[in-house]
């Protein structure tokens, strides 16, 4: 992936003003290349020179203002131009290469039917893999696209279709958009259409998913209509990009991408098997998130990647808000508190932490690193508190003024803060400095003094890590919970408290009041902070948590408990005991899933090899207890079954489920649950290559192919591990998704003796993997292939040795630094 520095971008933006890209693609060839003819019209200062990003396989011809451009002008992923006029027209005819890494023009062949599918993903700076482009967000332009494709294909782009003649497709010009937002899909996509409030709605998916798309389209359209209506209530500018198409594409790197007029999702969001309500809610949230981008990111775009938060933090916040306010998933903020905020908190405590809005992002490689839990979840949590402080009316008024001032253009942090300050009458510079410009997270602890019956003094103590000593103003709820005579838990009182930056705030109103059984800081989850309970409250959690009716305070308690274990302040054995006590009566599916997932990860890394089997058995027991109380069709049933399978070691029972024996009533052992069972059996050495191959023979689908790759990598067999490792580090013919899933199955906590040689090989061979793969897929592979279960000082020393290497890839450096910090915590916990 080529790198563009901020200095280069600023200089180029001062020289050129891009007007239009007319892109004409020929996709009818049979090889691994396609033809791209592009006309780029732009203004410049006469006599100046500039460059475009461009990565051709072969250049057929190039002219600038009718004069041939010499071939040597295209080199090193750039096309250098000199002697510019005031009005310029660059015409380039070239052969380009399809990709298999999810960037550029990605090509995929479906094993189910042999059909080929394409999607264009130019993010973050991959436009040059399809056409010559001024590839930076503040050089917006109109895109006009023409495509020649096989006659049985469908083609869709950002722009609306003007005409089709056989395999020739012509699309209308778009509004002015950034290069990274230009997209298309092509192939034998299945189509479902609808309309709402004058806006054409379209869904696309692979032909093999046609029946599933048809079945799920009513729900997706309903969510789309509900989200559109809510955004139209909030924003004065209606949806600004004509039609609203949503495509579900194979092997997409992101969960989804906010291309104006044609949002693209990974097609796992059209599941073929049973899913939990949490997964349905997650899809709803992603739909709302990407729709928020139509205003935040597409209508008004950041000027440079240092203001990424203007895109992602707002879309994350509005995604949860609109899901909770407009759809049936009214508990979306519980999911945010339990899952998304935990992602932000973990990212914010790692060595790679950075401000929500960093003052400088030097180049596009550094920008890619900031697509993390800080830019998404922390930024959203901070916005949630800002709205509580400013009031919703002032907040929305500021946003609408911002859209009006910068529609179809670019904006900065200062622009948005100015609009919000004017609308609210409050100076936000101080708020922005501590919340947006400074990294890391505060911890809020309750200090309680009582006489045994009544509070003598209750204070909230705020601390910050030594390396990031910023204390911040917080607005929080403090809940007092008591156990009633009937055994239920009731909230006696909720008080709202403003915490200043002095570090200690006394809650004077509680002095003399009866001490609660549980005192909960950040009740309502208003602020972004780590929460620690006082000792008496923490001791009461196992008794009270199962009886607490409201899902949001339960999520706050679970999140605080998990975080205390992550930090080594509470033992993992205590967490497992709480899971056994409270999870079987937990009613919120999102909480069930997150607790099982997070606890399993902590058991695998924080428990010692000697104590892990017992901890895993208790975790399986908790899932089994929950499964036993679930009636057929209970939303928790599938989550409990997955948790039981993932932690289980009862091979006979798992094999019985595959054979349809003793399956809980109402639980469908469908294609994906079968694969999950086979995956667990493969890890345990109870499913060999023959079992995996037989399952794949009966499931020749994209999902089946991916599951089989993961299962093969998971087998405790030396040859299987060798083959998987070779595929991970060096097989560039393997697609992004297949490589990622192979890597995700490779490391298993049960197989450390067999895997010991690969610990050293990771640090020796991963730099070359990053070189030959590159991009977002390589980051994910490097992360999931990290030897996280090899918890030892030796692993940490190997990491230190690699980090001392000069010229180490920035992405790999970050993966290793953060993974090593996680291992440091695991060693502390084991100690």
Where in the sequence numbering do the catalytic residues fall?
A: 290
Residues 131, 139: contact at Cβ < 8 Å? no
SS3 for 120-178, per residue? EECCCCCHHHCCCECCCCCCCEEEEEEEECCCCCEEEECCCEEEEECCEEEECCCCCEC
Which residue in the block uniquely carries the two structure tokens 């799920």?
216
* Residue located via tokens 């945010």: 336
What is the strand order of the sheet 262-266 is part of? Answer: 189-196, 199-206, 244-249, 262-266, 256-257
Half-sphere exposure of 163 (CA within 13 A, CB side): 2
DSSP assigned state of 274:
-
Residue with tokens 């775009």: 301
Q: What are 259's two structure tokens?
A: 């291309």
CB proximity list for 38: less than 8 A, separation 6 or greater: 21, 22, 23, 24, 90, 91, 92, 94, 131, 132
Residue 64 to residue 266: CA distance in whole angstroms: 39
Task: Return the closest-CA partner of residue 296 out of 288, 829, 451, 571.
Answer: 288
Three-class secondary structure of residue 752 per DSSP: helix
525 Cβ contact list (under 8 Å, min separation 6): 333, 336, 337, 341, 552, 555, 556
Q: Which long-range contacts (CB under 8 A, 24 or more apart) does 826-830 make?
A: 826/605, 826/606, 826/791, 827/791, 827/792, 827/793, 827/796, 828/568, 829/565, 829/568, 829/571, 829/572, 829/606, 830/606, 830/607, 830/608, 830/791
Residue in the block written with tokens 């002697």: 83
d(CA 755, CA 781): 17
Whether the CB-CB separation of 706 and 683 falls below 8 Å is answered with: no
Number of other CB atoms surrounding residue 97 within 10 Å? 18
Identify the CA nearest to 204 among candidates 148, 161, 165, 240.
161
CA Rg, the chain, in Å?
Answer: 27
Q: Are residues 46 and 80 in contact, defined by beta-carbon separation less than 8 angstroms?
A: no
- Give the contacts of 256 (CB within 8 A, at least 6 positions apart): 263, 264, 265, 266, 269, 286, 289, 290
Number of H helices, E strands in the chain: 27, 29
C-alpha distances in angstroms, 26 versus 180, 252, 278?
21, 22, 42
Give the contacts of 815 (CB within 8 A, at least 6 positions apart). 779, 782, 783, 786
Q: Tell me the β-bridge partners of 53.
A: 78, 133
| Contact residues for 716 (Cβ-Cβ < 8 A; gap 6+) | 683, 684, 685, 748, 750, 751, 754
């Amino acid at each position: 992936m080529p790198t563009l520095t901020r200095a280069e971008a600023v200089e180029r933006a001062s020289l050129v003003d891009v007007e239009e890209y007319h892109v004409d693609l020929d996709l009818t060839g049979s090889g691994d290349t396609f033809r791209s003819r592009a006309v780029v019209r732009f203004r410049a200062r006469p006599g100046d020179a500039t460059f475009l990003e461009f990565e051709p396989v072969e250049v057929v011809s190039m002219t600038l203002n009718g004069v041939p451009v010499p071939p040597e002008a295209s080199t090193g992923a750039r096309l250098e131009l000199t002697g510019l006029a005031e009005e310029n027209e660059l015409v380039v005819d070239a052969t380009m290469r399809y990709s298999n890494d999810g960037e550029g023009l990605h090509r995929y062949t479906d094993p189910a039917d042999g059909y080929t599918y394409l999607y264009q993903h130019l993010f973050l700076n991959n436009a040059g893999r399809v056409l010559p482009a001024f590839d930076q967000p503040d050089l917006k332009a109109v895109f006009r696209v023409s495509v020649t494709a096989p006659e049985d294909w469908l083609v869709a782009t950002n722009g609306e279709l003007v005409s089709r003649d056989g395999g020739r497709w012509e699309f209308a010009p778009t509004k002015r958009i950034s290069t990274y937002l230009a997209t298309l899909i092509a192939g034998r996509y299945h189509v479902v259409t609808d309309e709402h409030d004058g806006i054409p709605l379209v869904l696309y998916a692979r032909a093999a998913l046609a029946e599933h798309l048809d079945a799920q389209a009513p729900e997706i359209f309903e969510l789309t209509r509900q989200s559109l209506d809510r955004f139209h209530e909030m924003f004065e500018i209606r949806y600004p990009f004509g039609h609203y198409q949503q495509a579900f594409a194979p092997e997409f790197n992101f969960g989804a991408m906010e291309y104006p007029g044609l949002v693209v999702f990974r097609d796992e969001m059209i599941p073929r098997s049973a899913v939990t309500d949490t997964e349905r809610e997650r899809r709803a949230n992603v739909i709302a998130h990407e729709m928020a981008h139509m205003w935040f990111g597409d209508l008004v775009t950041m000027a440079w990647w240092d203001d990424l938060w203007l895109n992602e933090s707002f879309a994350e916040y509005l995604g949860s808000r609109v899901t909770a306010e407009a759809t049936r998933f009214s508990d979306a903020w519980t999911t945010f508190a339990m899952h998304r905020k935990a992602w932000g908190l973990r990212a914010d405590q790692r060595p790679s932490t950075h401000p929500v809005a960093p003052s400088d992002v030097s180049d596009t490689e550094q920008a890619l690193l900031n697509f993390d839990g800080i830019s998404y979840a922390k930024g959203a949590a901070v916005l949630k508190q800002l709205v509580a402080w400013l009031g919703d009316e002032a907040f929305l008024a500021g946003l609408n003024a911002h859209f009006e001032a910068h529609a179809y253009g670019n904006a900065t942090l200062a622009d948005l803060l100015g609009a919000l300050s004017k609308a609210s009458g409050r100076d936000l510079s101080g708020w922005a400095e501590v919340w947006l410009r400074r990294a890391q997270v505060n911890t809020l602890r309750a200090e309680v003094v009582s006489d045994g019956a009544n509070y003598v003094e209750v204070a909230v103590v705020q601390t910050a890590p030594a390396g990031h000593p910023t204390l911040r103003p917080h607005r929080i709820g403090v809940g007092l919970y008591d156990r009633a005579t009937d055994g239920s838990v009731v909230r006696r009182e909720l008080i709202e408290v403003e915490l200043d930056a002095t570090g200690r705030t006394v809650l004077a109103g509680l002095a003399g009041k009866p001490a609660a059984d549980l005192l909960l800081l950040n009740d309502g989850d208003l602020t972004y902070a780590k929460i620690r309970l006082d000792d008496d409250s923490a001791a009461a959690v196992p008794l009270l948590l199962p009886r607490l009716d409201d899902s949001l305070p339960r999520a706050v308690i679970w999140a605080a408990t998990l975080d205390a274990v992550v930090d080594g302040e509470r033992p993992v054995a205590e967490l497992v005991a709480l899971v056994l006590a409270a999870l079987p009566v937990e009613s919120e599916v999102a909480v069930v899933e997150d607790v099982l997932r997070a606890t399993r990860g902590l058991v695998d890394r924080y428990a010692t090899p000697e104590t892990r089997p017992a901890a895993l058995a208790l975790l399986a027991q908790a899932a089994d207890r929950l499964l036993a109380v679930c009636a057929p069709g209970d939303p928790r049933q599938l989550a409990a079954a997955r948790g039981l399978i993932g932690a289980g070691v009862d091979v006979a029972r798992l094999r019985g489920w595959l054979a349809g024996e003793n399956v809980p009533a109402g639980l469908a052992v469908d294609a994906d649950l079968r694969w999950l069972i086979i995956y667990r059996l493969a890890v345990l050495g109870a499913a060999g290559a023959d079992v995996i191959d037989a399952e794949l023979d009966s499931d020749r689908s994209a999902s089946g192919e991916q599951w089989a790759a993961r299962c093969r990598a998971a087998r405790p067999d030396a040859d299987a591990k060798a083959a998987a490792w070779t595929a991970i580090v060096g097989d560039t013919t393997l697609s992004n998704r297949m490589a990622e899933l192979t890597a995700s199955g490779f490391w298993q906590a049960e197989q450390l003796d067999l895997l010991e040689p690969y610990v050293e090989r990771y640090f020796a061979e991963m730099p070359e993997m990053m070189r030959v793969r590159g991009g977002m897929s390589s980051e994910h592979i490097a992360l999931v292939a990290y030897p996280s279960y090899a918890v030892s000082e030796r692993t940490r020393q190997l990491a230190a040795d690699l980090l001392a290497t000069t010229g180490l890839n920035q992405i790999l450096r970050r993966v290793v630094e953060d993974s090593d910090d996680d291992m440091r915590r695991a060693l502390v916990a084991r100690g």
